[in-house]
Structure 1
Amino acid sequence: MSHRILELEKLKSIENFSSEKWKIRGLNPSEKNLCGLLEKSFNNLLTDLISASNSKNTDKEFENIYEDHFKKIKSNKLDTEEKEFVIDYFDKIAKILEVDSLTRKLNFWTYGTETYDHENAEKIASEKVLAEERERHEILSIDCQKCNTKLETFILERNDDIPSFEFDIIKCIKCSELNLLDKGAGIKKYRFLNYELIEELPKEEFDLVKALNRLYQLKTKAAGNRL
């Protein structure tokens, strides 16, 4: 029996979409019916591939079997985590088959590119997380005075007893322009995006005019350092 068949048989013997497998990925198990359908789909794929291996089919025939089963998965009924789980198993099978065209096709189906771009995949994942954060939290936003990039502050927790006690001088991460930010009162925890915190100006010492003067001083100093 070939190494390929042994690996396919081994994969088939595992309950790939069990509750335990979901938990290993840090996810809650999907609906039982869905898990059953996915398990059945993969078992059918593995059965067909094992049969093809015994018949010593060509790489093109393996590719056709693989592609046919991939297209039968109704991806529109899967959420993001479920899709990633399914893709991981298809990728595992592609590696067992050692058919280069399958890896290229899987990358194209998944990422819209024929070669896996880790940086792009990370970017997509980050954008997904950011979109979810935007839905969960209140956001304070100002435009950078130089490049108009949105300088955003995510309000993670509020407490009405906390006063507005400081101005922040912040630096846009896109163009390095310094901006003045007044977050206002009631903010207990926050996180920011697209800017760096440069200096905090206590309102006991700085009114708006003094804060703007300090901003001007820092801008002048930064401009001098660039000369």
Structure 2
Amino acid sequence: MREKEHIITALAGFRRKNKFSYSVFQERGLHPSDDELCSGLQALLNDCSDQLIVAVNSGVDEKKLAKILKSNLSNIDAANYDTEERELICDYFYELSQIVVVDIKSDLNNWLYGVILGTLLKITSILKRSDKALYTLEQSCTGCKIPLKTAILSRNKGIPDHSWHVIRCNNCDEYNLLSVGEGVSEYRFENYQSIEALPKSAYTKDEACVRLEQIRYFRKR
């Protein structure tokens, strides 16, 4: 029940977000797309999130959730968008898939690159080291309370925990402080973005918390 509430909270947060704001394009180093195009995509993604909220509330299984995502993705004609726009669309569908915990990476590859190239990329990825997580760290967002997830991909003894990370929740944009712990050699952010790394050689936890509050104050103004 608790997990269901977290999923619905995250989907509602995704829906509220201005997914094609000037700052979104600026962070990716891109010029903003046409307003009409952005409004249309915003509406399509919001409709998809609404469908997922209804489905999650109804208790449907992973296959039906994946079908909703794939159906909405297929309704978007990739030929109408440039490469950067297609990548942004894929990022948002991937974010939705992460929220509802279904795997549509192959479908996203095929939509982004075309079936032939998408298949080749899938074959190539199989030859590479698996990025399957050993386990997942979770800490509650101080804003919306959903679990912020860090996938631990590999560990090695003797590796120190070098940094505090100031991170931003994808759901509510709240800033949080993260430490992955010792012995972690590779990890992946799941539902948040890293904003700033603070070396532990230069920052105590109290000093890192002060920096966190500075970022909260200045970036939310």
Q: Provide the TM-score with structure 2 as the length reference.
A: 0.49
Q: Provide the TM-score with structure 1 as the length reference.
A: 0.48
Of the two structures, which has the highest relative contact order with CA contacts closer than 8 Å and spacing of 6 or more? Answer: 2
